[in-house]
Amino acid sequence: MNLNLKALFPSYQYYRTKPTQLPNSTFIFYHHQTKEWFSVSKHEVTQRDYQWLTVFYTEVTSSLFQSSDTWYNFIYSNGNIPSNLSFNKARIIQLTFINENPPLEELKEALYNFFQEDTILIQVATNHFLLMEPASRSMNEKEDFIALIRTIETDFYIRIHLYVGEYYEINKEFPIKFQREAQWFKECLNLRFAEPYYSFQSIFPIFLIQQLPVSILKFIEEQIIIPLKSDKELLDTVKTFYECGLNITLTSKELHMHRNTLTYRLSKFQEITNINTKNLDGAILVYFASYLWSSLQNAQN
- Domains of the chain (ranges; CATH) run 2-60 (no CATH), 76-205 (3.30.70.270), 212-300 (1.10.10.2840)
Cβ contacts of 264 within 8 Å, gap of 6 or more: none
pLDDT, tens digit only, all 301 positions of the chain: 445 788 888 899 888 776 766 667 888 887 767 767 888 998 898 888 888 888 788 777 644 334 577 888 899 888 889 887 878 999 999 999 876 667 777 888 788 778 877 788 888 887 889 999 998 767 788 889 999 999 988 888 888 999 999 999 999 999 999 999 999 998 888 875 568 999 998 888 888 888 889 999 899 889 888 998 888 889 889 989 988 888 999 999 999 999 999 999 999 999 999 988 888 788 888 888 887 887 777 666 5
CB of 37 closer than 8 Å to CB of 60 = yes
Strand partners, 93: 131, 164
- 3-class SS shares of the chain: helix, strand, coil, % to 5: 50, 15, 30
Q: What is the pTM of this model?
A: 0.67
DSSP 264: H
Neighbours of 91 (CB within 10 A): 20
Burial class (CB in 10 A: 0-12, 13-18, 19+), 148: buried
E-strand stretches of 54-159: 58-60, 89-97, 120-125, 128-134
